Amino acid sequence: MQVSFACTDHGLKAPRNGEHSKQNATSPNTASQARARFRTVALIARSLGSFTHRYHHNLKESTAKLTGMKYRNLGKSGLRVSCLGLGELKFKSGNFSCLCQVAEQLMTIAYESGVNLFDTAEVYSGGNTFLVLAETERGLNRKHIIEEIVRAMTHVINQGMAMYWGTSRWSAMEIMEAYSVARQFNLIPPVCEQAEYHFFQREKVETQLPELYHKIGVGVVSWSPLACGIITGKYENGVPESSRASMKPYQWLREKIMSEDGRKQQAKLKELAHISEKLGCTLPQLAIAWCLRNEGVSSVLLGSSNPSQLTENLGAIQVIPKMTAGIASEVDHILGNRPHSKRDYHH
């Protein structure tokens, strides 16, 4: 089983007795929210072995038949990953103990559903993001930064601290530069790119990255399949007070939803809901299955705040066989934003 944890608790101290109850995630202090989330993930990462011993069969053999989980190669690396992964844990309220309990439930549900890809990057929580910075005598131009990053990642892998490395939100040009540097200096190139991909964000994943896959074998791990919750349909009649878009740090999301483009997107989602009803699934499940229809996508990262939401999203696996060329064509007709590409990656 391949399980990847990207988790650090750098600069964080363990809470003293009685502090757990004071760490309420409703506080405006984003650092406190970040600490709670990072400690939660670190705790679960350390205790992962406490529930993996229950399984005596290979993960794919023991779960695939029950859950229908599919496994795909991560680019051309040979690494097999579940087509659905667990990304952001979107906690809104509760003290540290409650967050631990919910996080463990989410991790367990994902694991028992056949998920073997867990992405817990700190950037999800709006806290301290781990950055790779390179400063040389020649300055901080892009070429030098990319070269240093490739060298650093190669060192990490050679030291046995990782098996592969990938990029996130890099342009196709930057990824090609990293590959060229690796070839030139006999270093290890990235095997995947994490990119935003959903109904309303298609260009990069459908036109740029497929070419990179065929040239250098870079795969795609996509994120935000529900467009920060926009595709759930909960913003159909405005911004509910309990939603993420109502929170101060997400003012940009609220503005996006309330804009003219946002209203047009909601109108399209109403039409797409008719397709999901026809297929017997929810709109979020349709959106996730639509992402997975793309052969170039190795895995789609799911963000969840509670067990029922995660269970619903994992149910998108059952919708994949229903994503026929005809259904995909209907979706394209409603969206009206299919980018021009050299290849057709629909099944």
- Chain segment 57-76, per-residue pLDDT in tens: 444 444 455 668 999 999 99
Catalytic residues: 124
Contact 330, 275 (CB under 8 A): yes
Looking at the chain, list the stretches that DSSP marks H as alpha helix, in order from N- to C-terminal side. Answer: 30-46, 49-52, 59-67, 96-112, 142-158, 172-185, 203, 209-216, 251-258, 260-279, 283-292, 307-314, 325-335
Q: What is the mean pLDDT of residues 307-336?
A: 96
Sign of CA dihedral 101, 82, 219, 330: negative
Q: What pLDDT, on a 0 to 100 scale, did the predictor assign at position 100?
A: 78
pTM: predicted TM-score of the whole model, two decimal places? 0.78
Q: Which range has the worst mean pLDDT, 47-51, 176-180, 216-220?
A: 47-51
Name the more confident of 148 and 65: 148
Q: What pLDDT, on a 0 to 100 scale, did the predictor assign at position 309?
A: 93
Share of the chain above pLDDT 90, in %: 54
The per-residue pLDDT for range 242-295, each reduced to its tens digit, is 788 888 888 999 999 999 999 999 999 999 999 999 999 999 999 999 999 998
pLDDT at 114 over 50: yes
Contact 244, 250 (CB under 8 A): yes
The SS3 of residue 134 is coil
Q: What is the mean pLDDT of residues 200-220?
A: 95
Q: What pLDDT, on a 0 to 100 scale, did the predictor assign at position 159?
A: 94
pLDDT at 127 over 70: no
Tokens of 89: 């844990």
Distance CA 284, CA 126 (A): 24
Walk me through the domains of the chain, giving residue ranges and CATH numbers.
68-119+226-341 (3.20.20.100)
Distance CA 220, CA 23 (A): 36
3-state secondary structure 268-309: HHHHHHHHHHHHCCCHHHHHHHHHHCCCCEEEEEEEECCHHH
